Structure 1
């Protein structure tokens, strides 16, 4: 038998499973005001009867104009997971190192394991990268803690990666929800997954802004016509659909702040302006199971190395009040 990569279990995620669920879901970090009606109509009007342009030229041009880069610096994907798996295949080999500031997104960790790379997690950057570091992953902001780097820290991280011959991967999935610095640098690969902010995660839109070299490598690892017509149309029209965010994200911020304030009476809360927050409950798995029995789904944070915590995301005032009441019952009996 050839020396094949090992089978690696799927990474745990929030959201639906194969089991039927009709309760309240606080385990997903999606704009509760979505879907964006402009983009939803774009997806519906897309030409699903014919193959799309295999180069997705117009999509790349639209996003490139928006970001002030050239089209050859844009790589398209079906969800950030798709791009992260291709990135791992492009950059990581057995014995290489994926360095992550705090716990990495589960799909990147899984992709690294499939490449037989080593995963190292640190709670602070400084002192350079370990030998054979090829990727440094930073959630900007991080999931589930919401922490993020300052502009100065980002610049230092990019310079460190450049010296080490590594790439700095900025996961900007939740950047639209908070005011965080974003860096453009030759060593930076910026991953955007706008479905979360626009309430359209089912369409799986994602793209990377990077050097032309990296974008070409990511594109080379994708099959032909890798983007469905609806997802391509969504990304092409994304720049003109931003008014939805202007009208909804402030409401999401207020809801998350109110939820954080209400939950502080039940345990230690970590919240940095994102729609989600963590709550220390002692035994995250037990509390998550007890809530699920009450028709409420939350994210057990054990896979992030935080087994004492759960992560919840605001779902609107009425739903949030039900979560707080259920947590009071579970925690205090």
Structure 2
């Protein structure tokens, strides 16, 4: 068997620090002050409650909420739980986050990519991953079909960063995976949670597979304040700012002759005039997310960044074009 390759990600790499990072799809606005203060004040001297009972009650039904060490750990654990619950096929969005397929391949499960909901046609008991809105495209659909009989998990990491349109109807009986650190600009805190539709075999497997103290004290503090009114008001204002930055950056890239795909979020797919732009911009301390690993060579994923970053991107592109003239 060929060795499995680790999925590629945006964000930090092993090169010099980027002055401006357009590759990450986390919010560039950082966390709300009150939530950040709570994280910084977290008591690191003691273990959290290993059952996280108070936190689970805050996040929903205590008997259905499952804390996770971020989205990636949740994807791995829920895929394993799905296998133990009898699922043998895993349907994943393409293009999509690489960890869905990676988790299934590591367990020897059949991986089936789909581009549209109509493409999903399981031939065996299946796990179906939905990312809504989707990473890396930022795309959304009008409504998701009923996939009755199959296990559906909706990754909602980017729902708080939806800038346009309403949340579509989700398949009935779907699990939901929440990863607030993206919208809060705190991706260094590995904390999220899943919500099960019922305390069934899948739930029991997922609960039993959790490592002890899956959340750190900082993770507990972040999730404790995630649903606070102050946090949600801050996020609403952040989305308004991101709409302005997104519109300005899209206009800038259009002027520079970059192709761009539609998106409902502050990140989207773009195609520079030349395929070496990502590398050449990285040499100028600007990072883009090369989309080759998504099956889209020549494309990059970009996220809206503050005006100063946009100005630096424009200047760097003009320098590259000047060198090639």
Q: Does the alignment reach a TM-score above 0.5? A: yes
C-alpha contact 1:195 1:203 (8 A) present in aligned 2: yes
Q: C-alpha root-mean-square deviation of aligned residues, in Å? A: 2.2
Counterparts of 1:321 and 1:19, CA distance in 2: 22
In 2 relative to 1, CA 215–20 (structure 1 residues): closer, same or farther, beyond 3 Å? Answer: farther
Counterparts of 2:290 and 2:44, CA distance in 1: 38
| 1:256, distance to aligned residue in structure 2 (A) | 0.9
- Once the two structures are superposed, what CA deviation does each residue of 1:23-45 show, in whole Å capped at 9, x if it has no partner? 21111012211122122111122
1:243 paired with 2:239, answer: no
Residue 270 of structure 2 aligns to a residue in which SS?
strand
C-alpha contact 1:95 1:132 (8 A) present in aligned 2: yes
For 1:194, the equivalent position in structure 2 comes to: 180
Counterparts of 1:73 and 1:182, CA distance in 2: 22
For 2:127, the equivalent position in structure 1 comes to: 135
For 1:232, the equivalent position in structure 2 comes to: 220
Residue 203 of structure 1 aligns to a residue in which SS?
coil
C-alpha contact 1:74 1:207 (8 A) present in aligned 2: yes
The counterpart of 1:84, out of the listed 55, 58, 75, is 75
Q: TM-score, with normalisation over the residues of structure 1?
A: 0.87
Which structure has the highest helix share of the two? 1
Alignment of 1:256-271 (within 5 A): 256-265=246-255, 266-271=257-262
The counterpart of 2:288, out of the listed 298, 303, 315, is 298
In 2 relative to 1, CA 201–128 (structure 1 residues): closer, same or farther, beyond 3 Å? Answer: closer
C-alpha contact 2:38 2:222 (8 A) present in aligned 1: yes
For 1:71, the equivalent position in structure 2 comes to: 62
Residue 277 of structure 2 aligns to a residue in which SS?
helix
Q: TM-score, with normalisation over the residues of structure 2?
A: 0.90
User: Structure 2: where are the runs of 5+ without partners?
Assistant: none
| 1:59, distance to aligned residue in structure 2 (A) | 0.6
For 1:35, the equivalent position in structure 2 comes to: 31
- Once the two structures are superposed, what CA deviation does each residue of 1:92-143 show, in whole Å capped at 9, x if it has no partner? 3899222123323111221111011222222222275221252212221111
Residue 237 of structure 2 aligns to a residue in which SS?
helix
Residue 301 of structure 2 aligns to a residue in which SS?
strand
- Once the two structures are superposed, what CA deviation does each residue of 1:138-180 show, in whole Å capped at 9, x if it has no partner? 2211111111121xx32x1xx22x1xx3222211111112144
1:12 paired with 2:8, answer: yes
C-alpha contact 1:280 1:310 (8 A) present in aligned 2: yes
User: Structure 1: where are the runs of 5+ without partners?
Assistant: 65-69
1:144 paired with 2:136, answer: yes
